[in-house]
Amino acid sequence: MHRNLIISAFQEVKAREKDKNGTTTSDTAAAKVLSDFIGENQKFPFGERSLTKYYKSALNQNEDELLINRSEVVQALCSYLGYDNFESFKEANKIRNSAGEYSPKKLNSTLTSLKSNKVLLIISSTICMAVILLILHFSNNERWMIWENDRYIEVSFDLEKYNLSQLKLYSEDRVDNLRKISVDCDTEFFDPTGKVKIWYGKNARKELEFFTSVGLHPGTGKTLKPITNYMINKYVCLDM
């Protein structure tokens, strides 16, 4: 599963940079972003060369299962992707795989081997059925939450009352800790040790919003970013 984690982290960096700059980011540049984040998030230095080596090994399907031997690196990569811990990441990936999601290499291989639209239809129907069964399973066995105003609240799985896109698997940490807040120059952005206390992201209208915990933006689903002094000086303390 560490293989999926490192690939997901690199893909997320490249997607963010593509969205922000419209350019394609190299593996080395992506590794530098992750290395900086690990140092800031865990106060633990981990070089981009090691990350690049992990990434290339992860892409090599012929190698044995990849193992990241530093727990600080695993936790930081999970945080970058918006997960509370590695267990949350594994659970989310298990759900996606159960719904029939393939890695890019496996998907390309499958598509090139298809010989007719009939085969495509059968595969699509199977995947749709798996998704439906998965939703029914979790609706009966899991707790759910929705975003309401400035926080998550627990709700029942009720498709007459809520859209499917609103319903998310219940997370006690996000219900208890994730809040959307207003900030100003008096806001405590860092704790006494320098650890980040505020994260930010843009809503669908491209407006900056601020939150009290790491995670995904409740409106866009994009990973929230940790606040920096640059962001504070540029967007919050405009008169200073």
In a domain, 60, yes or no: yes
> Which residues are CB-neighbours of 150 under 8 A, at least 6 positions away?
179, 180, 181
Looking at the domain assignment, is residue 228 inside a domain? yes
Establish if 94 belongs to a structural domain: no
pTM score, two decimals?
Answer: 0.45
> Does residue 78 sit in the same domain as residue 13?
yes
Shared domain check, 111 and 166: no
Residue 144 three-state SS: strand
Residue 91, both tokens = 């659970």
If the chain, 240 residues long, is cut into consecutive pieces of 10 residues, what is the mean pLDDT of each piece? 86 84 86 89 87 86 74 87 84 58 46 55 74 60 87 90 86 92 95 93 93 92 92 83
Domain-embedded: residue 98: no
Rg, C-alpha atoms of the chain: 20
Whether residues 68 and 113 fall in one domain: no
Based on the domain organization, do 11 and 81 belong to the same domain? yes
Do 48 and 112 lie in a common domain? no
Residue 96 lies in a domain: no
pLDDT (0 to 100) of residue 208 = 95
Same domain, 13 and 26: yes
Which residue reads 């890019």 in tokens? 104
Is the domain of 9 the same as that of 80? yes
Residues 2 and 66: beta-carbon distance below 8 Å: yes
Domain count, the chain: 4
| Residues spanned by the domain of 193 | 178-240
Residue 62 is predicted with a pLDDT of: 62
